[in-house]
Each structure stands twice: as C-alpha cells, then as structure tokens.
Amino acid sequence: MADQPLVRLTIEGVPVSVPQGTLVIEAAKQAGVMIPHYCYHSGLPVAGVCRMCLVEIETTPKLQIACATQAAEGMVVNVLSAQAREARQGVLEFLLINHPLDCPICDQAGECELQDYVFQEGRSRTRYTPTYAKRFNPVEDFGGDVLYVPNRCILCTRCVRFMEHVAEEPILNVSERGDRAYIGIHPDRHLDHPWAGNVVDLCPVGSLLSKDFLHKARAWELDKTPGVCTGCSQGCNVNLDTRTDVVVRVRPRANLDVNQYFMCDHGRMQYRWMNRGDRIEAPLVAHGHELAAVSWDHAFARAAEIVRGTAGRAAVLASPRASTEALFLAKRVLGRFDLTAAFRVQRVSEEAPLIGVPNLALRSERAPNVTGATLLGYTEQFEVAVKALSGSAVVLVLDDPLEGVSADLLRAAGQVIYLGTVLPDAARAAHVVLPIANVAEEDGTFVNRDQRVQRYFQAKVGPGMARPAWWVLGELLAELKLGGPFGSAAEAFAWMAAEEPRFGGLSYQLLGTRGMVLPAGRPAGVGA
C-alpha cells in the first residue's frame, strides 16, 4: 500500500489522505466517522445491496453508497447532511416494515446493528397501522450450530457471501424475491462446514443464532476479554465473553495477520472446560498415603526441599496448553538436573482450511503452544520420557492430564511435583500438588505455528487458592534462590526474554493485543 499514490478528501469536514482505491467507508473510519452499514464487511467482497451507507458526495447529483465508491482526489463527503439522513431513515423504515421487533427475546439485542442505527437515526414512530399483518416465516434449523430466524433477516447477504467466497461452499442463497425474499439453504445440505459458525458473528441482526448460546445471556451482561484460541496451533485471536466469572461464549477477535475476522467451530466450542467445577483449590502435600491441604508457604518449602535434596536425572511432563512463561520457568526449576522435557499433543490427520483466507486452517496439532514448547527445548517424545520416569529423581508435571500414566509409574520416580488445574487419579501419587489457574484465569503468551508470540488476558478469577503457573513457579524459584518471584506475567516474560535469546527484545508492551512474530533466521520447530 505504501507505494500507492495518496488521494486527499474531506469527510464531514475532516481532511484525510488515503491510498488510491480505498473505499469511502474505509476512508471515513480514518476520519473518525462511522458510516452506518449492513452489507459491507471488510472481510467479505462488496455487495452494495442494503443501501444503508448512502452519503452525499458534493459534485455528484445523487446520493452514493459509501461501501462501493472509491475515494477520489478533492472529494467532499457529507455523512450527516439532511438529505443523506433522510435517505437512510427511509432505508430503515423499509427494513422495519416486516421486522418482528422481538428484541426482548432476541439474542442479538444489545449488539444489534438494526437496533443501533434505528436508535441513532430511524423514525421514532411507525407509519403503519397497528393491525398491519407482518410477513411471517417459521424458524429454520440450518444444521451445525446455526438457527435461522427469517423474520429478523434484513437480507444483507453477508452469510451468503461468506459461504460462497470465503468458505467456498456456496450452500446459502437468497430465495424468492422482493418482499418475499429469504435466505435459503441447499435442500440436501447442512451448515456443517467447519467454519460455518462465522455466519452467526457476521449477521448484523439476530437472524442467524448460535444454538449453543441461545437464551444464555444478554449482550450487555457480558465482559469481553482478549484471548487466544486453545483449539489448535493456528492461534486465532478471540474474545472470551464471561458472565459473572463463567465463560459463556468465544468469538473471533480481528487480527489481519492471523485469522482476519474468523474462527473455526472447533475452537468456538472449546470453552466448557474453562468452567470446570472439579478444580484443585488448595496446595496439597503428601502425608503418608494421603494428600493434605496446606498453605502456599508450606507447599513451596516442601517442593523446594524436594528439588534441593535430590540430584541426578529429572523429567518435566508439560502440556502444550501451558503458557510460554510457565514452560520456561518449569525447566528453570530443575535447571541443575540432567533434564528430559517432553510434551504430547493430539494430532488428527486432516486440517480444515478456510479457503478464502491465506494460511488459515484448523490445524492438525490441537494445542495452542506446541511451537512455544518446542522452541524452549521440549520434545514430543513423551513416551520415552514416561519410560524413563523410574530412573528420575524428580518429576515435575505441568498440567499434563496424565492419561495413560499410572500412579505406579509415577511412584517409581523419586519425587513428584504436580502442577495442575484438576487432580487426575494418577496425580494422587504426587508428593506436592500445586493448584494453577487455567487459560481463562491468567495472563500469558502462546507461540503459534508461525512463531507469532501472542498474549492472552485474564478473563475470570481462579477457584480458591489456584494461582497462575508463572506465579507458582516464580515463587518456587525464589524459594530455591534461582530467580523470581514475579509480580506479574509481564515480569516473568521479561525474565524469559532476557535469558532465552529466541525471545530477546520482546516484551508484553511490544506484543500488545496483536502479537509479534519471533525475529526471523531462527529455526522453526513445528512438527516432530
């Protein structure tokens, strides 16, 4: 874009310069003016069907649609002039003729663009008689997670264009015409494309709904926290929507370098485990054959005693769902041992790409931090590490679910320190159990498959005494006089950046909410 010539224009009295070919609606964003729109979406091809974006362009006799008009030198655009407002008011009036106005039972209420624009510039009263019989069509199940409420549809065709041009599986269309038009689905097909859930986010009104979220919460009750999807190594940017400390929905967060505006359905449904109730709520220390709850100080003292009092071989069994910080610190705790650090990851045979977006797919390795673990020297030889357990003096488990690892195998090792969110049966063989927060309850970073380091933020509070793994490991390091403690995830990351050359020069501030790719020239490590 940089080498393209700039054009200068004035929008609502604000002068802006934009590269040639920019649409007026995009140029207006630069001028700080939001032109009302329905069918336009930056991630979809332009359709120009809703006429909501009508604006007045001086020297052009008729009103123009801002989403399909390119900015030109010297253009003067009036968005709020009486003529433009009147035209848009007319568009809104047409949209409302057959709209059921059932906001009280509509899941979109509170984040609905029809509500917003009618409130902003619509007529306050209808000109239809109260007895006018509105068009009615029954609710239709589109399959997958999607429900279609035709009465609310404003026929913007965003859903149709997504399926046709982005997913490239054109199974939606506009059926019938005129005021009878509705969105039709191929009679033999369901919306079961692995990325079909995006049509629910794209729909500007409550016409396409998620069955999973149906009637669950009102938009204004939700707190949104930026996060990173844990579904696979693509690392789509998401928002976690929480209501009173329960994650109720995951939606994509725009990041043009990773997932644009989309996320897959697999990732979208990956949130229930964040609300698990069977969590470890206090540090536990083995007394004989029983685990007893103790204070953090006591647990750290006991864990430090274990690490200090042993020597020889040690193992870290880590989860590729742990934050980069935790993975780094876990190895540091056992720094002076002969260390085997391993993780395991579920791999499926096929990727599910979103064809219309380059380099975006539901990846086959189904964990968010495989690359982070590999960069930090963890190997995927989990089985080898498990076999070697019996000769290890210390084993540190970092949130691995221990499936297939029996308590007896763990008992064969010298001493076991278990950091986890839940307590699988095998973990009862541990000598010290330290409760940690899950991904929704802590700040941290993941490294995606393209070596992009991305931050995620704390969305809810952890249960009981559970603390972020970086804090727990930082305190343990401090107890061992090896570094730490850390007051924040940012401090833990800063220490890692100082110690680990691959992360050199990075900081939480630099990463921001979009993340940064690790400096080039360093070998990638994805795949075994």
Binding mask 134-173 for ligand SF4 (x = CB under 6 A): -------------------xxxxxxx--------------
Q: Which helix (H) or strand (E) holds 87?
A: helix 82-97
Q: Which does 229 bind (CB under 5 to 8 A by kind): ligand FES, other proteins, ligand SF4, none?
A: ligand SF4
Of positions 134, 186, 218, 276, contacts other proteins by CB under 8 A: 218
Considering beta carbons, is residue 64 or 369 the nearer one to ligand FES? 64
How many residues bind ligand SF4 (CB under 6 A)? The answer is 26
Judged by CB under 8 A, does residue 105 bind other proteins?
yes
Judged by CB under 6 A, does residue 51 bind ligand FES?
yes
Q: How far is the CB of 50 from ligand FES (least distance, A)?
A: 3
Residues facing 395 on adjacent strands: 315, 416
Q: Phi and psi at residue 7, in whole multiples of 5°?
A: -115, 150
With CB under 8 A as the contact rule, which of the stretches 15-23, 53-61, 63-71, 208-216 interacts with other proteins?
208-216
- Classify 394 as helix, strand or coil: strand
Q: How far is the CB of 345 from ligand SF4 (least distance, A)?
A: 13
* CA separation for the pair 305, 171 (Å, rounded): 63
Sheet holding 284-287, edge to edge: 290-293, 284-287, 432-435, 415-420, 394-398, 313-318, 338-343
Binding mask 262-301 for ligand SF4 (x = CB under 6 A): -xx-xx----------------------------------
Judged by CB under 6 A, does residue 48 bind ligand FES?
yes
Judged by CB under 6 A, does residue 162 bind ligand FES?
no
Query: Please, are residues 146 and 208 in contact by the beta-carbon 8 Å criterion?
Result: yes
DSSP codes joined into one string, 153-215: -----HHHHIIIIIS----EEEES-GGG-EEEE-TT--S--TTTTHHHHH-SSTTEEETTTTT
Candidates 471, 474, 417, 396; CA nearest to 284 is 417
Query: Please, are residues 253 and 466 in contact by the beta-carbon 8 Å criterion?
Result: no
Considering beta carbons, is residue 237 or 374 the nearer one to ligand SF4? 237
Pull the structure tokens for residue 506. 């990075």
Q: Is the peptide bond before 435 cis (omega within 30 degrees of 0)?
A: no
Q: How far is the CB of 216 from other proteins (least distance, A)?
A: 7
Applying CB under 6 A, the residues found at the interface with ligand SF4 are: 104, 153-159, 183, 202-203, 205, 207-208, 229, 231-232, 234-236, 259, 263-264, 266-267, 362
Applying CB under 6 A, the residues found at the interface with ligand FES are: 37-40, 48-53, 65, 67
